[in-house]
Structure 1
Amino acid sequence: MIKIMTAAERHTTHEDGIHSEFSFSFGDYIDPHNEHFGSLLAHNEYTLQPMEGFDRRFHHDLVIVHLVLEGTLTYEDDTGKQADLTPGTIHVLNTGSGVYHAERNASASEAVRYLEMWFLPAEPGLETSHYQEIYTQEERLNRLLPLLGSSRGELSSPQSLDMVMYASVLETGEVLEYSLAEDRRMHVYVTSGHIEISSDDGVFDVKAGDAARIQRRHNLTFKGNSSEGSSEVILIDMP
């Protein structure tokens, strides 16, 4: 089964220089029919205007992934971790037994656009940990580059998560194929451009801000279909 959630169906807020797009119930947005997809609890896209951001807040027993699309995101928490996250950077916080963390745009002139995703960890109460890596467009060009690994052994990373997250910069006309197992789900999110997804269920057009929620066994084909030359897409394979 493939279900397309369009950009227009996301819940949108704009307050104090922070523009938010929520794909699932989050904060004051409550939809009992749209609370999560597998172990993916939140999939938010934020744009922070200059000098805006989120003050420290407390979370525990979550794995929080930041993926920076534009600008520089400044991250800090009460473990002493501080980092300036630039485009192409993935930062993962396993909150474990609990941590206070904050994300801000320290620039006086440029906005920051990034994704924040929340996952259920494999087990609660772990020690707080961080993982950070940066990937170039060349590394993602016309391939599914694994950003985060899983217990399936496709990539090693400090997080105890049964999932694999991929990224691709797919040029127009280029095609990628993926076989999704019977007991798995896939969340596909287009951050820019336009892709075409083909399977036995049909052909689906997915544009920037749209997501595809895919369940059960599928032989999937992803085709770049943007008039601007390339599209950027995130794929998450999970139970």
Structure 2
Amino acid sequence: MITVRKAAERGGADHGWLQTAHTFSFSNYYDPAHMGFRSLRVINEDVVQPAHGFGEHGHRDMEIVTYVLSGELGHRDSMDHASVLRPGEFQRMTAGRGIRHSEMNASDEQPVHFYQIWLLPERPGLDPSYEQKAFPESERRDAWQVVASPDGRDGSLRIHQDASIHLATLDAGAELTRTLAPGRHAWLQVLKGSVELNGRALETSDGAAVSEESSLSIKAGAPAEVMLFDLA
């Protein structure tokens, strides 16, 4: 079963300095039919204008993964990390018992476009921790590249949940498949371009929940970048 979540149907707002779209209920957007999927709780697509951002605020008991599509995102947190996240780089923050951080556009000239994803952790009260890593684009060209996993396999970030995140960049006409183990579920998010998922058309910023499917076939109509979540 595949359930498509069209980009235009998402919640969100245009605040001037921030254009945000929420796949699932978040902040002032509430839809009881879209509260999350499996351990996925938040998929937000944000564009922050130059020299703006989110001031210091707190989180707890959440696995937070951030991926920048364009621009530069500055990060500071209460664990004394200070960094800039650039295209092709992923950040994983385990909020655990509690953490405070801020996120700002690191540029005075260009907007920053990024996805932020929250997953429920395997248990509450984890030790807060942080990772950031760049993943070479060449290793996901028409191939799956694991960027986050429970065991940090193949150099991926470690998330504290039975879930893995995979990225792929597809040339027009390229096709990828993926087998889902019995009882597993998936979410596909189209970051750029257009694809067909088991024959279902998806455009930029569309997503799709997958259950009770043994295999996935993703074929790019136009050059595309997709993110796939393999979920318990």
Task: Report deviation, 1:182.
Answer: 2.7
| Sequence identity (%) | 30
Structure 1 match to 2:229: 236
Question: TM-score, normalized by length of structure 1?
Answer: 0.93
Using the alignment, how far apart are the partners of 2:172 and 2:16 within structure 1?
Answer: 37
Where 1:31 maps in the other structure, the secondary structure is: coil
Using the alignment, how far apart are the partners of 1:15 and 1:97 within structure 2?
Answer: 31
Structure 2 match to 1:31: 31
Task: Report deviation, 1:16.
Answer: 4.3
Task: Report deviation, 1:12.
Answer: 2.5
Q: How is 1:70-219 mapped onto 2 (pairs within 5 angstroms)? A: 70-150=70-150, 157-198=157-198, 203-219=199-215
After superposition, the CA RMSD in angstroms is: 1.5
Letter paired with 1:103: E
Where 1:236 maps in the other structure, the secondary structure is: strand
Task: Report deviation, 1:217.
Answer: 3.0
Structure 2 contact 146–156 (Cα < 8 Å) conserved: no
Using the alignment, how far apart are the partners of 2:206 and 2:160 within structure 1?
Answer: 28
- Aligned residues, how many? 232
Using the alignment, how far apart are the partners of 1:159 and 1:95 within structure 2?
Answer: 11
Question: TM-score, normalized by length of structure 2?
Answer: 0.96
Match of 1:222 among 218, 221, 232: 218
Task: Report deviation, 1:15.
Answer: 1.0
Task: Report deviation, 1:63.
Answer: 0.5
Structure 1 match to 2:40: 40
Using the alignment, how far apart are the partners of 1:141 and 1:77 within structure 2?
Answer: 33
Structure 2 contact 94–129 (Cα < 8 Å) conserved: yes
Using the alignment, how far apart are the partners of 1:153 and 1:71 within structure 2?
Answer: 28
Stretch moving more, 128-137 or 52-61? 128-137
Structure 1 residues 75-132: Cα deviation after superposition (integer angstroms, max 9, x where no partner) = 1111111110000100000011000111110211100000000011111111110111
Structure 2 match to 1:11: 11
Structure 1 contact 47–112 (Cα < 8 Å) conserved: yes
| 4+ aligned runs moved over 3 Å, structure 1 | 151-158
Structure 1 residues 2-26: Cα deviation after superposition (integer angstroms, max 9, x where no partner) = 0111111111201140110000000
Stretch moving more, 157-166 or 18-27? 157-166
